[in-house]
Amino acid sequence: MTDAVGKKSPAELDRVALQKAYARWAPVYDLVFGAIFDRGRQAAIAAAEQVGGRILEVGVGTGISLPGYSSQNRIIGIDLSEAMLRKAQRRVADLSLTNVEKLEVMDAEHLSFPDASFDVVVANHVISTVPHPEAALDECARMLRPGGEMILLSRIGADRGFRHLVERLLQPIVCRLGWRAEFPWDRFALWTERRTDVRLIERRPMPPFGHFSLLRFVKFELGARA
Ligand SMILES: C[S@@+](CC[C@H](N)C(=O)[O-])C[C@H]1O[C@@H](n2cnc3c(N)ncnc32)[C@H](O)[C@@H]1O
């Protein structure tokens, strides 16, 4: 977000700030966010396994989900942060995860794979951290073959009330850590409304405190929704 003279708001995220933030998180990420997000991650993996096939993990981070995928599936992981990806690469080597085809530095808003390359796209705790969430959602949807699923774990902020106010106040601090405090459901709702080829098929609250959700979207053939 920019003001009238084109200066970026200090409460917004950008690629450089994100890379710096996740370089700091990389050594301790699993320790801090391993157990607390485990139930959500297991639910996302189970949903991805229901479809199976070629799976793209966007914002794969330290690769904390990678050991959960079955050996028949082929996994490709991308992330903006080299430091996080180095952790993921070490995990793949240490655990001999032969189903992980590739881990690559890439921006979720500009994926370099051709359209419809994947059966499943997973993005756990990523969409609310990217500078332009709707652009990343568009790219994730572009990756899916018709009938494929996009599976997201995301923080859903409050739309109004006291929690909404607190989230707004926290935003300038929290964005330095590499994510948004404020991320109302409306952003997903408006994005889904705009797309003619994607439909939300599940929204399930997830711990901690139900402030997170598992979201599943399915991709149609173009025009099939009408
Ligand atoms: C909160 S971590 C989540 C990591 C992992 N998915 C998990 O479930 O623990 C967010 C990840 O998204 C990555 N990320 C943020 N913006 C990105 C972008 N534009 N493109 C690709 N990855 C991005 C960060 O580098 C970080 O590894």
In tens, the pLDDT along 37-95 reads 999 999 999 999 999 999 999 999 999 999 999 999 999 999 999 999 999 999 999 99
When pLDDT is cut at 50, 70 and 90, the band that residue 2 belongs to is very low
Beta bridge partners of 213: 154, 205
Tell me the residue type at 94. Answer: D
Residue 176 burial (CB count, 10 A): 14
User: For 75-86, how does the pLDDT look when each residue is reduced to its tens digit (9 = 90+)?
Assistant: 999 999 999 999
pLDDT surpasses 50 at 159: yes
pLDDT at residue 144 greater than cutoff 90: yes
Distance 197 CA to ligand 1 centre (A): 25
In this structure, the residues whose C-beta lies within 6 A of any atom of ligand 1 are 18, 22, 33, 41, 59-61, 64-65, 79-81, 84, 107-109, 124-126, 129-130
In tens, the pLDDT along 9-33 reads: 555 788 999 999 999 999 999 999 9
pLDDT band at 6 (very low <50, low <70, confident <90, very high): very low
Residue appearing with tokens 């709707």:
134
Distance (angstroms) between ligand 1 centre and the Cα of 219 equals: 23
Return the top range by mean pLDDT from 11-20, 127-136, 204-213.
127-136
CA distances from 217 to 64, 95, 114, 200 (A): 23, 31, 20, 4
Q: Reply yes or no on whether the pLDDT at 178 is more than 90.
A: no
Sheet of strand 100-105: strand arrangement: 100-105, 74-79, 54-58, 118-124, 144-155, 212-219, 198-206
- Counting residues of the chain whose pLDDT is more than 70, the rounded percentage is 93
Of 90, 91, 28, 86, the C-alpha closest to 65 is 91
Residue nearest to atom 14 of ligand 1 (CA): 59
Provide the CATH number for the domain formed by 15-219 in this structure: 3.40.50.150
C-alpha distance from residue 58 to each of 34, 75, 128, 161, 183 (Å): 18, 11, 12, 32, 19
Rounded to the nearest integer, the mean pLDDT of the chain is 90
State residue 149's pLDDT score. 98
| Choice from 60, 79, 86, 151 to test ligand 1 binding pocket (greatest atom count within 8 A of CB) | 79
- Å from CA of 57 to ligand 1 middle: 10
